[in-house]
Amino acid sequence: MDTPDIRPGEVTGPTPDRADAAITFIGRLRTPFARREDCPRRGDAETGPVCTVEVDPPLRPALQGLAPGMRLELLYWMHHARRDLLVQVPRRDPEPRGTFALRAPNRPNPIATSIVMVTAVTAEGLLVRGLDCLDGTPLVDIKPDFRRGGEPTSAA
């Protein structure tokens, strides 16, 4: 099922006709990126723009223990992504590859992850560096990234 908005060599498939689980968004990510082409290929936790992680009010007590200098893994829902591409042709590589071999936003379940650095904890959420998503992206979860210094450091 080819559509005009896919690249030559890309393959689409049916989207799932069932839901196996429910995800509750816990907030929104506020970034300076209004269009997909504005988003960096990968966020930079050291020098990227400061972005806001808005956490829904009932969940804000769960931020206790987070501090500037911590590295976190943010999981979010790429709400503008296609869900039917099985084979994609990356912009920077003309060879078609399966969706599961790529970090591209278009996937059956458009869940993304970014490693970010906390610059501040606020009453409403967090200020972080390292996001690469659209402004208003729904937030799925926040986890400390202990592999890369999830504990606060003096670098903050």
| Cα–Cα distance measured from residue 113 to residue 123, given in angstroms and rounded to the nearest whole number | 23
The CATH label, of 3.50.50.60, 3.40.50.720, 2.40.30.70, 1.10.3720.10, for the domain at 29-81+112-148 is 2.40.30.70
Q: What is the mean pLDDT of the chain?
A: 88
Q: Kindly report, residue by residue over 76-105, the tens digit of the pLDDT.
A: 999 999 999 999 998 788 899 999 999 888
Residue 125, both tokens: 């959420």
User: Dihedral of CA 123/153/112/38: which sign?
Assistant: positive
